[in-house]
Chain A
């Protein structure tokens, strides 16, 4: 696309928009919800009240149906008067692009030219392998297959209650590119303590600049605390295997950017 046509498009696109039903600017939306009341006139009035409070005016109750004796399901159409200002939309970019398993495999094959090795474990007393298994096991999580599914990734999952020296030894033996640790238990800040112990042990065991990529995951890590904990990346609740795989490709095989290995002291 030339700069001229881009400019033309930009002028054609207004900055202020409304939802589109069948006419520009009509503001029509559709929604459905359930209220915990039996289906009667009062329930329908309650649904319209909710719609009005949500900014639908006029609101059209097109469907109401009892769902058992205590609940009613509604479908509501209506006009919203809210304006959307496209100039105020902020897009937070992930620092890495999300890749499909095929793209991940291809990137590893062409750029690394060997399999990418991941060693994973739950360390310390933590026996909750839910997180690490969701990411590593082929069964996966949220409809995405785990890293085992990726042809170009070799996964060594050590399971629960692995001692830090054991993890370091295994990572060295497997020549791990990345080490992945899951920490669910947070009593007495066990997750923080375990993570710093782990990162310190890796820095001690490896020559500078050769430490594998250290990745931790768990529901209670603070965002932005990776550096403080001495790891390269933290993943929180709801992370899917695809995101982790994409990150590994980004951090370990990115052709231009310095690899995370080098940046991580």
Chain B
């Protein structure tokens, strides 16, 4: 198909090369550090699960003990598997329990002993990686058996009661009503917990905790529903916050299908330390790549904090950075659910034409990515009738610009948690628009140098200018330019210096002998 926008390929190339230039030093930073959460994720791959009677996970106990005694500079697995080889305990769980009571002494093995400990670690971590590989195969088989949704975009619906046992019937009902993707929103504040809660949970604030057991329960329920409906229902959760690598790992182990995973969201909107975020993010994206999980990025957040017209180019910049970091971590185009949103003030003249221009720009810059199209929230006023119309126009942009994943807008956005009827009406809205106008992609060709083409070019140019400013940014500490830019408030007005923010104390610079079998297996693609 002929491209709908007349973009200058040289400008597009320049945008990508600037994104690479901005991202590359950050990747180097990520590969020279580890974090407590990366190390805990590695232990989870080696099979360590569960928590003590105060619900502190064993992986937290073990990582804390090793860190106190010998540090994490060499990775947690070498001293842990050395201790097992020395007979400090018969298995990982017992070792963690003993360590928690302070009765294990760890050391950094040298020479042949180090090699043996590392081989043992690789063997055990390899089991976890192979579980992820197997789950990917299971997904592929189930998709083949039940089938993908018949239409694009896939219809994405949110459930969030706080109680996993309430979420399950709601999710199943939503799938029966037409949802292709179910997202279970997390409890508010989970992103700032430095541990992953355990077990099935029945209380959360405005959402349900992400736990391995909740993942398993929901996936099993949706497998039932997929069979019933003859359509594979995908499950989404959030790999963000301080435990991003662990939650990504649990998602891989329990066959979640999509994960929210933005490169800068935690830094900007949750005040998590930038280095912590980039280190955690690279590991989590490597897991997602391996697990065949589609990531969803969070560009909608830029538009809810700033004006959607003035800040349109920040979405493009973030998409380009997210694309760079994703591909560097091994994700493929089909796994990049790059985000954007319908958030322009509807009172502005030509607001719909601008939305079309922005959506087409994203579509054309990332032709092979399943873009995630997100509904209006900021200009939903409580006038549910007007909100319903706005959602209809949002759906129309989705249909006309070939979006990959459509988050269904609710007319009661910002009023109440959606009523059963709100969800049904919202799905009727989507179905009507898709049915009536889904074929418009065939007829719709914005005229050359018309309003839409001009607006798209303008946003792209502004994005290139911003990327250019980012790669030329600097700070006194000599941090990578992107970190300097984040520190001086380039994104969304928030200043987030590299040496501040939550989770900074969990960042450790790797020593020359650092070993992490998970990272090795993820980088090489090996299975054992």
Q: Which residues of A contact B (CB under 8 A)?
A: 32-34, 65, 67-68, 71, 73, 128-130, 133-134, 137-139, 142-143, 145, 148-149, 151, 157, 159
Say whether B414 contacts A138, CB under 8 Å.
no
B143 to nearest A CB, angstroms?
A: 25
Closest to A141 in B: B188
Say whether A130 contacts B189, CB under 8 Å.
yes
B116 CB–A CB distance under 8 Å: no
B506 to nearest A CB, angstroms?
A: 14
Cα distance, A157 to B501, chains bound together (Å):
10
Say whether B192 contacts A129, CB under 8 Å.
yes
Cα distance, A138 to B270, chains bound together (Å):
8
Cα distance, A139 to B502, chains bound together (Å):
15
Q: How would residues 205 to 232 of chain B score, 1 for a CB under 8 Å from any chain A CB and 0 otherwise?
A: 1000000000000000000000000000
Say whether B421 contacts A73, CB under 8 Å.
yes
B124 CB–A CB distance under 8 Å: no
Cα distance, A151 to B494, chains bound together (Å):
10
A residues within 8 A CB of B189? 128-130, 133
A-B pairs with beta carbons under 8 A, tally: 56
A residues within 8 A CB of B192? 129, 133, 159
A residues within 8 A CB of B493? 138, 149, 151
Say whether A143 contacts B492, CB under 8 Å.
no
Say whether A32 contacts B421, CB under 8 Å.
yes
Cα distance, A262 to B425, chains bound together (Å):
54
Say whether B205 contacts A67, CB under 8 Å.
no
B273 CB–A CB distance under 8 Å: no
A68 with B176, Cβ < 8 A, contacts A129-B189, A143-B414 known = yes
Say whether A138 contacts B420, CB under 8 Å.
no
B residues within 8 A CB of A68? 173, 176-177, 424
Query: How many residues of chain B get a CB closer than 8 Å to chain A's CBs?
Result: 28
A137 with B419, Cβ < 8 A, contacts A68-B173, A128-B189, A142-B414 known = no
Within 8 A of A (CB), among B139-186: 173, 176-177
Closest to A128 in B: B189
**One of B176, B271, B424 near A137 (C-beta < 8 A):** B271
B residues within 8 A CB of A149? 305, 493
B377 CB–A CB distance under 8 Å: yes
Say whether A143 contacts B502, CB under 8 Å.
no
A residues within 8 A CB of B451? none
B268 CB–A CB distance under 8 Å: yes
B342 to nearest A CB, angstroms?
A: 15
B269 CB–A CB distance under 8 Å: yes
Closest to B424 in A: A67
Q: How would residues 488 to 502 of chain B score, 1 for a CB under 8 Å from any chain A CB and 0 otherwise?
A: 000011100000001
A34 to nearest B CB, angstroms?
A: 5
B residues within 8 A CB of A67? 420-421, 424
A129 to nearest B CB, angstroms?
A: 6
The SS class assigned to the A binding surface is loop
Cα distance, A80 to B505, chains bound together (Å):
64
Say whether B305 contacts A138, CB under 8 Å.
yes
Cα distance, A73 to B269, chains bound together (Å):
38
A residues within 8 A CB of B494? 138, 148
Starting from the known contacts A68-B177, A145-B304, A151-B493, 6 additional A-B residue pairs (CB-CB under 8 Å) come to A33-B421, A34-B420, A68-B424, A137-B270, A138-B268, A143-B380
B487 to nearest A CB, angstroms?
A: 15
Cα distance, A139 to B420, chains bound together (Å):
27
Cα distance, A184 to B189, chains bound together (Å):
13
30 contacts between A and B (CB under 8 A): A34-B419, A34-B420, A67-B421, A67-B424, A68-B173, A71-B420, A71-B421, A73-B424, A73-B425, A128-B189, A129-B189, A130-B189, A133-B188, A133-B189, A137-B269, A137-B270, A137-B271, A138-B268, A138-B305, A138-B493, A138-B494, A139-B301, A142-B414, A143-B377, A143-B378, A143-B413, A148-B494, A149-B305, A149-B493, A151-B493
Cα distance, A38 to B415, chains bound together (Å):
27
Say whether A138 contacts B492, CB under 8 Å.
yes
Cα distance, A151 to B495, chains bound together (Å):
11
Say whether A34 contacts B421, CB under 8 Å.
yes
Closest to A70 in B: B173
Closest to A160 in B: B192
A residues within 8 A CB of B268? 138
Cα distance, A130 to B193, chains bound together (Å):
11
Closest to B502 in A: A159
Closest to B425 in A: A73
Cα distance, A106 to B176, chains bound together (Å):
51
Within 8 A of A (CB), among B500-528: 502
B residues within 8 A CB of A129? 189, 192
Within 8 A of A (CB), among B463-495: 492-494
B residues within 8 A CB of A143? 377-378, 380, 413-414
Say whether B378 contacts A134, CB under 8 Å.
no
A residues within 8 A CB of B380? 143
Q: How would residues 275 to 309 of chain B score, 1 for a CB under 8 Å from any chain A CB and 0 otherwise?
A: 00000000000000000000000000100110000
Say whether B270 contacts A139, CB under 8 Å.
yes
A143 to nearest B CB, angstroms?
A: 4
